[in-house]
Structure 1
Amino acid sequence: MFLNQRVFSQVRSLTFNFIKLLIGSQFPTVKEINCNQLTQLLSDSAKPRPLLLDARSQAEYAVSHIETAVRIDPLTEDLTAVATALKDRPIVVYCAVGYRSAKLAQKLDKAGIKCIYNLSGGIFQWANEDRPIFQNGHPTKVVHPYNAIWGKLLKTTYHAQEY
């Protein structure tokens, strides 16, 4: 059993790396930030706290999100609220694995909003690294797996039971 878990973990890691390459090739102008870099940015009181935008569905966001994240519809056309709320504050956008958020980051960049980063690996990577996730202001250990196929990239211990 341990060997199967180890092999599955390696397959998950390779699949994630492949997806990240695909996202990077499809959105070459989008800057990425990894989980370690975001953790450092969130804990550095000398720098402006980044605005975290969760580009997942309302159902996904309701299960859990990164603390202080604000949900934004990734299909939104009106980016005025985001543009007016920000000055020199960095924006970190994330979704389940990084595709929807990369698309939104590209849209924000084209709208003239700067200092935007896409969280590489999304909330799945964040949770898989055992980083804190929240629901209604309280710590939780579950994430919406998006669907049965994409959910395989999320460690099963983090799967929300109903989705």
Structure 2
Amino acid sequence: MTAYDRMLSLLYKQTVPTIQPAQLAEALRQNPNGVVLLDTRSPEEYQVSHLRGARFVNYDAFQTATFQDVPRNLPVVVYCTVGARSEQVGARLRSLGFQHVSNLYGGIFQWVNEGHAVYNQAGATDKVHPYSALWRPWLKRGEAAYK
């Protein structure tokens, strides 16, 4: 277990099952439209980079969101910087009756640290918004960038 794993074990409440980045990458490779990705960070974080095809869900408004436009017949994967905020959004989705919700283990940091691509409006990018200076050391690959 790495230091990052230990830190995540303290943050996660185990309210939503996790999916490993490699598992998600394989699912997306096999069927790019077979998974709904929800980026649960701030608008600034999303603009810097996000997973290809991810829909933006503003974390600051998720508690009142009904997620009417999110298909219920597909698996939903939520993510944020490291997975703490997204776990809360995932729990909200489950309370609304979504059956197949997973939280991306380690968030966008783990995704990038394992070598998976992120995108912004212009296309592929190496930039990742680290949320705060305290989280920045956990990003081992990519370029930390604040909007």
What's the TM-score, normalizing by structure 1? 0.81
Poorly superposed stretches of 4+, deviation over 6 Å = none
Q: Note the C-alpha offset of 1:48.
A: 5.4
Q: Which runs of 5+ in 2 are unaligned?
A: none
Does the residue aligned with 1:125 lie in a helix, a strand or coil? helix
- Measured against aligned partners, the alpha-carbon deviations of 1:22-48 in whole angstroms (never above 9, x if no partner) come to 234x2x231110101101110113x85
Tell me which residue corresponds to 1:142.
127
Tell me which residue corresponds to 2:46.
61
Greater share of residues in helix: 1
Taking a change above 3 Å as real, the CA distance of residues 111 and 87 of structure 1, as seen in their structure-2 partners, is closer
RMSD: 1.9
- Measured against aligned partners, the alpha-carbon deviations of 1:59-111 in whole angstroms (never above 9, x if no partner) come to 1111000000111012423332x245313111000000000000110111111
Tell me which residue corresponds to 1:40.
26
Instruction: Note if contact 1:143-1:159 (Cα within 8 Å) is conserved in structure 2.
Output: yes
Tell me which residue corresponds to 1:15.
3
Letter in 2 for 1:110: S
Structure scoring higher RCO (CA < 8 A, sep ≥ 6) equals 2
Instruction: Note if contact 1:32-1:119 (Cα within 8 Å) is conserved in structure 2.
Output: yes
Taking a change above 3 Å as real, the CA distance of residues 114 and 15 of structure 1, as seen in their structure-2 partners, is same
What's the TM-score, normalizing by structure 2? 0.90
1:140 & 1:63 partners in 2: Cα distance?
A: 9
Query: Between the two proteins, what is the percent identity of the paired residues?
Result: 34
Bigger Cα Rg:
1
Does the residue aligned with 1:77 lie in a helix, a strand or coil? helix
Letter in 1 for 2:87: A
1:108 & 1:22 partners in 2: Cα distance?
A: 22
Instruction: Note if contact 1:55-1:73 (Cα within 8 Å) is conserved in structure 2.
Output: yes
Q: Which runs of 5+ in 1 are unaligned?
A: 1-12
1:37 & 1:100 partners in 2: Cα distance?
A: 21
Tell me which residue corresponds to 1:126.
111
